[in-house]
Chains A and B, each alone.
Chain A
Amino acid sequence: MEQKKLSIIAFSGDFDKLTAVFTLGTGAAAVGYEVNIFFTFWGLDAIKQKQGRSLTGGNWLTKIFGFMMGGLKVTPTSRFNFFGAGPKIFRYLMRKNNVATLEELVEAAKALGINLYACEMAMHVLGLKKEDFIPEVKEVLGVASFLNLSEGGQTLFI
């Protein structure tokens, strides 16, 4: 039997949407799917080596963008962000209710060997290099390669 496959385009850098990306990804990997996650634009925040705010980027403009976007620890919620208090409240509620937090899901994704990819074009725009990402990022890809590796499976855009 051919292995089932789920490919997710992680476009959003929102805490709640990234939680959906990693919940679906880890769940699918745990039941035997091959899972590919393609991070692009705001989604790249999730795989940055520096999880807080840092001046990551090429020139002064992309460095400011890099600082404003930040990494996994400072992702905002798409609603109820309350200037950054929202994600803290959600993390508290998730911990209290024994639901995996975003950080735990990312660690599980690494442990399950999910394939993480970064979008070449968005990296170019934002002045990001492969070294700015966590070492688990397998490759830097473009549309053609993503279509190729997602072929024959299910694809989601989040």
Chain B
Amino acid sequence: MATKVLDITKEHCPMTFVKTKIELSKLQPGDILEVLLAEGEPLDNVPRNANEQGYNVLSVEHVEGTTHKITIKR
């Protein structure tokens, strides 16, 4: 059970969800990925896409300013 952190706060479409997808695909069952992302498109789409692809979105938290952290489990 490993936890990895991915910071995509400075990325733009499509790299926000491309990088998330690539990291998600590396997870073993039970592993956790914490994604730091910005409001707007990434916050709207990254958790939804993770859910749709069968991952478990455990939480969405506000960190500071426009930054949010979502925790995803495989």
Contacts and interface: CB of A to CB of B under 8 A. Distances in A.
Interface of B is mostly: helix
A111 interface: yes
A100 B22 contact: no
Contact of A29 (B12, B21, B45, B52): B21
Contacts of A151: none
A125 interface: no
Interface residues of A, number: 17
A32 B49 CA distance: 8
Q: Is the interface of A mostly helix, strand, loop or mixed?
A: helix
B14 A27 contact: yes
B58 interface: no
Interface in B1-27: 10-15, 17-18, 20-22
A10 interface: no
A50 to B, nearest CB: 26
A31 B49 contact: yes
Contacts of B49: 30-32
B52 A104 contact: no
Contacts of A32: 49, 52-53
Interface of A: 23-24, 26-27, 29-32, 97-100, 104-105, 108, 111-112
30 contacts: A23-B13, A23-B14, A24-B14, A27-B17, A29-B18, A30-B14, A30-B17, A30-B18, A30-B21, A30-B22, A30-B49, A31-B17, A31-B21, A31-B45, A31-B49, A31-B52, A31-B53, A32-B52, A32-B53, A98-B12, A100-B11, A100-B15, A100-B18, A104-B15, A105-B14, A108-B15, A108-B22, A112-B18, A112-B21, A112-B22
By Cβ-Cβ distance, the 4 closest A-B pairs, closest first, are A27-B14, A30-B21, A30-B17, A30-B18
